[in-house]
Chains A and B, each alone.
Chain A
Amino acid sequence: QQQVKQSPQSLIVQKGGISIINCAYENTAFDYFPWYQQFPGKGPALLIAIRPDVSEKKEGRFTISFNKSAKQFSLHIMDSQPGDSATYFCAASIENSGGYQKVTFGTGTKLQVIP
């Protein structure tokens, strides 16, 4: 199974609050989990990524929590700001037999941070 399920589809958070986006996967062969951020009219851009050998990775206000046994991972945005308003995609990657990268994306979460 190559599917990555993402929730919620949309999220409204007050400025200063915590935004939480969840993802779940089925294929235990996935070995790299990036998150992408997409602003309106722009392409997705890598935000932060984690490998399954760690349970948490933090970069500034952005934290990925990873639960390998549950096959779930989540993005937390602390002290959410209006400038964080964007669509966020979780993704999972597997190195197939040819050694080439292939990324499976979640369906996206549209985050709106209101003042």
Chain B
Amino acid sequence: DAGVIQSPRHEVTEMGQEVTLRCKPISGHDYLFWYRQTMMRGLELLIYFNNNVPIDDSGMPEDRFSAKMPNASFSTLKIQPSEPRDSAVYFCASSLGSGAPTDTQYFGPGTRLTVL
């Protein structure tokens, strides 16, 4: 298996532009997570899905952020409009299982977003 796939790996955009990050989870995994990593705040969970349904989006910072999972093999995280403070590395992770705490999350390589 290729693991979790994210695209693009790097994104540079200007303030006010729309940004779309993409994720392909590991085949068969029921859970998909979006995280944001910054030096100041570390790794923060933004939202997670179970069987394509958003379960908890309490970590989404504001309405400018939205996430979708139209099918089991694809998810997007969209920021519209983007702001310089959104600059961070965004990770997608997936896991297989029933929701037990022992289910391992497998992370993608991340998308480094820079908003100028």
B71 near A: Cβ within 8 Å?
Answer: no
* A43 and B4 contacting across the interface, CB-CB below 8 Å: yes
A49 near B: Cβ within 8 Å?
Answer: yes
B93 near A: Cβ within 8 Å?
Answer: yes
Interface size class of B (residues with CB under 8 A): 20 to 34
* B91 and A44 contacting across the interface, CB-CB below 8 Å: yes
- Kindly list chain A residues whose C-beta atoms are within 8 Å of the C-beta of B57: none
Residue ID in chain B nearest A38 by CB atoms: B107
Given A49-B102, A99-B98: A44 in contact with B56 (beta carbons within 8 A) = no
* A103 and B99 contacting across the interface, CB-CB below 8 Å: no
Interface size class of A (residues with CB under 8 A): 20 to 34
- Kindly list chain B residues whose C-beta atoms are within 8 Å of the C-beta of A41: 109-110
* A102 and B45 contacting across the interface, CB-CB below 8 Å: yes
B105 near A: Cβ within 8 Å?
Answer: yes
Q: Which of A42, A98, A103, A106 contacts B105 (CB 8 A)?
A: A103
* A94 and B101 contacting across the interface, CB-CB below 8 Å: yes
Given A43-B108, A98-B55: A107 in contact with B101 (beta carbons within 8 A) = no
